[in-house]
């Protein structure tokens, strides 16, 4: 009897319904605030929940109760839309003033083509005699399942892999760019987005392995249940994190730079570029060593350029070519040295290590520990112990 709430169907049903709830909340949030990243994530959740429909209703006894159901015609291949949506979701967050252009619709051409194809074969089969008495019509059985779906089984994994590769590249390019503009990057590192990408990659890997194994071993509904449970859990986690993470604040923080252009001037900005002189290097060095500009925890490239009476492009060139560092390492190098000096003055007897780090310009424990380890090969605690010995 449908609906049959059992140990297989109930967990999927609960998770899918919660995922749908967050999809609706994200789409409502987009309607209220107009942040396009909420739209992309809402659509991602809708697609992932939609892809679980077949198994959820299957475990609830739908196919046994309704043997002439036509649901198979409307279980679409979501990979063709999911890959581009993940890419544009990350791009909308990591790119200042992102706008979805007309040419971007071409990324979804395969998805629209598949929808039109499925509607076409459904229309044809529905016009054939006896269609009401069967689950799948002529074209569904002779064309779609043996040929088209088999071909898609080979096409969709590399298709999704390609988009995931582009998305990871986009994300890590963003990470590299913020290192050229900000001294404290913790709020801009978007660790949540990295978790999001890793989880979807794991789900993709799981699905691919299951598909390959399924070609040699007959996997039943129960065997495929675990993948659907994993995807449903990921969907709910992504929905919760995505809804409660205010990406508009992150965009406001990053509006002072454009992550799709280099920090070092090129082409149109070439007229601003000057040959680096020792005087330029000395000016920047004085700001750091005498004025101690690094003590400002929110110091960024624009701020320091203004203090040096230079353009942002000129300062970036000086830091990169004159000091052979990116802006982040350049500023944090001074902070680490200031931290070491305060340890020599026994400041750790009055303040915690984190308190000292904050006095030196760091604004987060995670950033401080990572930077200190990177520049000294010691953790702050290890360094303190070694200096005391």
HEC assignment per residue over 111-133: HHHHHHHHHHHHHHHHCCCCHHH
Tokens of 367: 């950033």
Kindly give the parts of the chain with pLDDT less than 50.
259-273
User: 10 Å Cβ neighbour count for 255?
Assistant: 10
DSSP H helical ranges for 245-266? 247-254
Q: Is 361 left (phi over 0), alpha (psi -120 to 50) or beta?
A: left
* Residue pair 283/308 in contact by the 8 Å Cβ criterion: yes
Report the alpha-carbon distance of residue 84 to residue 92 in Å, rounded: 12
Q: Which of 362, 36, 313 is nearest to 183 (CA)?
A: 362
For the CA atoms of 108, 112, 114, 120, the dihedral, rounded to the nearest 10 degrees, stands at -170
């Amino acid at each position: 009897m449908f609906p049959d709430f059992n140990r297989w169907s109930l967990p999927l049903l609960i998770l899918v319904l919660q995922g749908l709830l967050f999809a609706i909340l994200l789409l409502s949030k987009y309607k209220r605030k107009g942040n396009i990243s909420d739209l992309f994530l809402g659509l991602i959740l809708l697609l992932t929940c939609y892809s679980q429909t077949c198994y959820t209703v299957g475990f609830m006894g739908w196919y046994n109760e309704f043997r002439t159901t036509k649901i198979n015609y409307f279980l679409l291949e979501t990979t063709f839309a999911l890959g581009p949506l993940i890419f544009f979701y990350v791009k909308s967050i990591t790119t200042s003033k992102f706008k979805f252009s007309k040419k971007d619709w071409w990324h979804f051409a395969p998805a629209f083509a598949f929808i039109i194809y499925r509607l076409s074969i459904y229309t044809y089969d529905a016009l054939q005699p006896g269609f009401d008495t069967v689950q799948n019509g002529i074209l569904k059985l002779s064309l779609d399942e043996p040929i088209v779906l088999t071909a898609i089984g080979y096409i969709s994994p590399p298709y999704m892999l390609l988009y995931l590769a582009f998305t990871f590249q986009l994300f890590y390019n963003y990470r590299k760019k913020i290192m050229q503009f900000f001294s404290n990057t913790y709020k801009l590192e978007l660790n949540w987005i990295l978790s999001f990408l890793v989880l979807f990659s794991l789900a993709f890997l799981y699905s691919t392995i299951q598909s390959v194994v399924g070609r040699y071993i007959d996997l039943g509904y129960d065997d495929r249940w675990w993948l659907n449970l994993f995807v449903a859990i990921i969907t709910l986690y992504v929905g919760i994190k995505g809804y409660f993470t205010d990406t508009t604040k992150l965009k406001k923080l990053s509006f002072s730079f454009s992550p799709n252009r280099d920090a070092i001037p090129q082409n149109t900005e070439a007229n601003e570029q000057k040959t680096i002189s020792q005087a330029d290097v000395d000016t920047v060095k004085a700001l750091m060593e005498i004025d101690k500009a690094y003590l400002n925890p929110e110091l960024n490239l624009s701020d320091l350029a203004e203090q040096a009476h230079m353009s942002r492009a000129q300062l970036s060139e000086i830091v990169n070519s004159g000091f052979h560092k990116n802006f982040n390492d350049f500023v944090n190098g001074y902070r680490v040295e200031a931290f070491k000096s305060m340890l020599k003055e026994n400041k750790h007897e009055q303040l915690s290590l984190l308190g000292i780090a904050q006095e030196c310009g760091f604004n987060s424990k995670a950033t401080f520990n990572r930077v200190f380890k990177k520049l000294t090969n010691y953790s702050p605690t290890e360094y303190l112990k070694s200096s005391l010995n």
